[in-house]
Structure 1
Amino acid sequence: MGYQRQRDHRQSQPLRQVKFAGHWRASAKQRLVKVVFANNRTRNYDTIATWLHTVLLGLQQNYNVRQFNVVAHSLGNAA
């Protein structure tokens, strides 16, 4: 079985900025990160995946995050 990715080129926008806010306790073993996309209506799955990839790279570079689990809902699970 497979699926076809829907493309909506009108809403395909590059991720322009990633903002990180908040803090974790030094003793935290599992840190929770909430990701909210400014454009939460795009149905371009390649764009959503690129945005998530950019966020993950930022977490890796800025916070030394090496492993992660993802819980998503709605279109967030498309990434």
Structure 2
Amino acid sequence: MAKVEIYTKFTCPYCYRAKALLKQKGVDPEEISVDLGGPKKQEMIQRANGRMTVPQIFINGKHVGGCDDLFELDGAGKLDELLAA
């Protein structure tokens, strides 16, 4: 199973949607909270090529984007492929 990391904020509905989809796929992602900003938020921005919104999702270290991007991958039938790697 792939290693999935997701940067989140507690009040973010898109974070909950993304985590629900991952859970449905049998994935328990490593959740990294950026509620308080700081070094983890800076790390997220750097890893996500300047994107500042949450969630930001990484599969096996590769940036796949946010919630909409995750659902787009799933709709195109590519998410299961990534998660199986």
The structure in which a higher percent of residues are strand is: 2
**Which structure would you say has the larger Rg?**
1
Q: TM (normalized to structure 2)?
A: 0.28
TM score, norm. by length of structure 1: 0.29
- Larger helix fraction of residues: 2
